[in-house]
Structure 1
Amino acid sequence: MISIILCTFNRESTIEASIDSILQQTYQDWELIIVDDGSTDSTRQRLEAYQDSRIRCIYLPENSYYCYAANVGMAKAVGEYIAFATSDDIWEADKLELQAEYLAAHPECGAVFSKVFLIGADGERVDSLYPDMVRLFDQENRSRAQWIRCFFDAGNCLSHPSAVVRKSILDQIGGYDLFYAQLADMDLWLRIILKSEIYVLPEQLVGYRWYSAKKQISGQTEEKKNRSQNEFLAIKKRLLELMTDEQLIEYFGDLFRNQTSRSPIELGFERMFLLMEQGAMYTRFYVMGLQKAEEVLRIPGAADVLRDHFGVRLQDLYRKNGAILYAETGVLERIRVLEQENAELKKELDYYRPAFYEVVNSTVWKCTKPMRGMLDWLKRRKK
């Protein structure tokens, strides 16, 4: 059996299309657990219209956000597999059948995903309008090491409503981390990958609703952008902590400061360097790395290892800790833009400088100097 978890909040206009696409699945051995996360529109009335005995509804008294609601639903699940549906996306009829067949044939695989197509407000195909979104979820299969590096460097690239996960894996690693609001699915996928293989089916089995007016959890407000960046950094740190030393060597060994690092202290410092130097552009901050340095340096003899094994002195860390580490993301972006503009202006200045000096050193310029002085005097008199 597949337990389908569907969380909803004020989705009266799309919830029925989502449920209907589940009812139309060719694979019929499922239960649908719907968690209404405190909706204030007509969502509840629409849910109560369904009489299928396989559908169970849980009504939360107030909105608690997706991760809390999903964990409530998963706690009630009894299926061998867990599928994640959403209240505004739709499934192709053979989605569950294809994914259940793959998991049954590949016991080493802990989760199976699919590619997606995009739909607009009225269910029409809109792939051509948002090619970047299509490319984001058009992922080829990778090894576990390659998936880890992909997430670590670029962030999430797997579609949440396409996922079907073995319940036995979720029983080991737990459900959604309630700390995360934007990137909870990325955190969950990474924890799954640390335990097992994953696979992406080549078929587009999910109609992912995407349009510019959509008020969705992934819609990018300034607050959500900042939260995504903060969560990404926290997830990277957690990933490096959850890895065994063997996994760290396998997945990130090529990036080690010292390729011979193997002891706990040496690998602790390698984690520090990874946090400080690697990852997507907006997480190139020293904060988490310096926190890791403080942790490792509590171990007797760690400072000597840092110096002898890595060629880094305590004074080097002190200098890094003297940098500006805490700045609002928008300020950093503005600084980057101004630096770029300054560089462009410098190029223009360098280009025109020879012509300027040619004019300044010309005979005409020198001869007209008294006249220019008189004009300047007259301007000052008028003021």
Structure 2
Amino acid sequence: MNNIQNPKVSVIIPSYNHGDYIKEAIESVLVQDYTDFELIIVDDASSDQSVEVISTFHDPRIKFHKFIENKGAVETLNYGIKLSRGNYIALLNSDDSWEKGKLSAQVKILDEDPQIGIVFTNASFIDENNQILNKKDYPWADVFLQPNRESGEWLEKFFFELNCICHPSMLIRKELYSRHDLYNPGLRQLPDFSMWVNLFKYTNIRVLEEPFVRFRILSQDRNTSADTSINRTRNRNELYFIMHDFFDNVSDEIFIKGFQKHFRKSGLLSQEELLCERAFMYFNIQNEIAHIYKLIGIKKINDLMAIPKLKTVLEESYNFSDKEFFEITGSFSLFDYGEHPVVNTVIKSAKSGLRKNQFFFKLARKLYHKMFRQG
């Protein structure tokens, strides 16, 4: 039974210019077999027929709010979270939809296991005509099909391969937002990835294999976040912000479990040696965005060398002295990217077409178009 005043679940739909799809999104929530929810729809000053379509629904569980001026997707989602009254929060994009049984499957897990903070699901990718896209149609069609991992293993996955979690599939305990705060409005491209990096440091998660979300991919010419140099630059800058603080507040236990196989030194390590391993971790990336990690790694090592005790640990435990550091700073420019071979590889691959390990940036632009774009 639904408790309108005190629902267990708050479903939030941030709406923006999806008049062709918002009806399907809303209906997929209202027909869920789990009914103890409120549906909060926040429209971010859509310029199409979205508001008119939303206004045709008169279900008492719906709470509709509309902005007069466009505020952007992060502010829109945060506003919905602030309005929510449920213990659990779910998100649905205004051009996506759910399969029946999604909420009931996720609520059951959170109710039965207080150690799990978030439940995600797999998703089916669909096109503008609701046709399911397979890997032949869309190379990343299985990107959200992930095995369950412990916290350290998830962080290791994020550090080396970046985001692979379906944001609109989540059911999350609202208290986690209270602990970590809401989505960072200073991030436009990657606020969800930043959220997972921080939350996964202290909560357990579950990923369901069932594709309970129909995740729509719109054609490039309809993307408000197109493949532009501005968006690519912002994407890289936000990745720098996230990765710079990646290991902050990561316990030694979680760090060891997730990253030990990449350590430079084996055996039982001291606190100081673990700090060194965190800094050296940034030099393990070997792909088109390695220069971002290396920028961070150089700064981390430089900070360690400024502390006499840690400088001694670097020299004695890792045979890493001023000489080795100067070799790095002399071979890699912090500013002149154009002469760096890694960056030249990026430029070359961009001209030659899609490469496998570029998937994140292209997928992130798709996700941003759907969830974190501004008008």
Larger mean CA deviation between 92-101 and 173-182 belongs to: 173-182
Cα shift at 1:169: 2.0
Is 1:324 paired with 2:333? yes
Is 1:34 paired with 2:41? yes
Provide, for residues 326-353 of structure 1, a one-character-per-residue CA deviation record: whole Å limited to 9, x for no partner: 355898677338999xxxxxxxxxxxxx
- Listed as ranges, the matches of 1:230-379 within 5 Å are 230-260=237-267, 262-278=269-285, 280-285=287-292, 286-322=294-330, 323-327=332-336, 335-336=344-345
Contact conserved, 2:290 with 2:342, CA < 8 A, in 1? no
Is 1:46 paired with 2:33? no
Cα shift at 1:218: 6.8
Cα shift at 1:92: 0.6
| Counterpart Cα distance in 2 of 1:337 and 1:180 | 23
Corresponding letter in the other structure for 1:336? T
| Counterpart Cα distance in 1 of 2:105 and 2:224 | 28
| Counterpart Cα distance in 1 of 2:219 and 2:309 | 56
Cα shift at 1:39: 1.8
Provide, for residues 39-97 of structure 1, a one-character-per-residue CA deviation record: whole Å limited to 9, x for no partner: 22222222222222221223234323222221111111111111011000010121111
Q: Secondary structure in 2 aligned to 1:301?
A: helix
Task: Report the TM-score, using the length of structure 1 for normalisation.
Answer: 0.80
Q: Secondary structure in 1 aligned to 2:124?
A: strand
Provide, for residues 268-318 of structure 1, a one-character-per-residue CA deviation record: whole Å limited to 9, x for no partner: 222211123337541344211122223323334332222112111123212
| Counterpart Cα distance in 1 of 2:286 and 2:343 | 21
Corresponding letter in the other structure for 2:182? G
Change in CA separation of 1:334 and 1:255 when aligned onto 2, cut-off 3 Å: closer
| Counterpart Cα distance in 1 of 2:54 and 2:347 | 52
Change in CA separation of 1:77 and 1:280 when aligned onto 2, cut-off 3 Å: farther
The aligned residue for residue 359 of structure 1 is none
Is 1:199 paired with 2:210? no
| Counterpart Cα distance in 1 of 2:347 and 2:161 | 25
Corresponding letter in the other structure for 2:145? D
Kindly, what percent of the aligned residue pairs are identical?
29
Provide, for residues 236-264 of structure 1, a one-character-per-residue CA deviation record: whole Å limited to 9, x for no partner: 23221131233222221222222357444
- Listed as ranges, the matches of 1:115-134 within 5 Å are 115-127=122-134, 129-134=136-141
Larger mean CA deviation between 330-339 and 32-41 belongs to: 330-339
Task: Report the TM-score, using the length of structure 2 for normalisation.
Answer: 0.82
The aligned residue for residue 165 of structure 2 is 158
Change in CA separation of 1:332 and 1:14 when aligned onto 2, cut-off 3 Å: farther
| Counterpart Cα distance in 2 of 1:68 and 1:164 | 19
Change in CA separation of 1:329 and 1:192 when aligned onto 2, cut-off 3 Å: farther
Change in CA separation of 1:65 and 1:45 when aligned onto 2, cut-off 3 Å: same
Q: Secondary structure in 2 aligned to 1:3?
A: strand
Cα RMSD (Å): 2.6
| Counterpart Cα distance in 1 of 2:175 and 2:246 | 20
Corresponding letter in the other structure for 2:155? I
| Counterpart Cα distance in 2 of 1:64 and 1:113 | 27
Is 1:104 paired with 2:128? no
Higher relative contact order (CA 8 A, sep 6+): 2
Larger radius of gyration: 1
Corresponding letter in the other structure for 2:116? C
How many residues matched? Answer: 340
Structure 2: 5+ residue stretches without partners: 1-7, 350-375
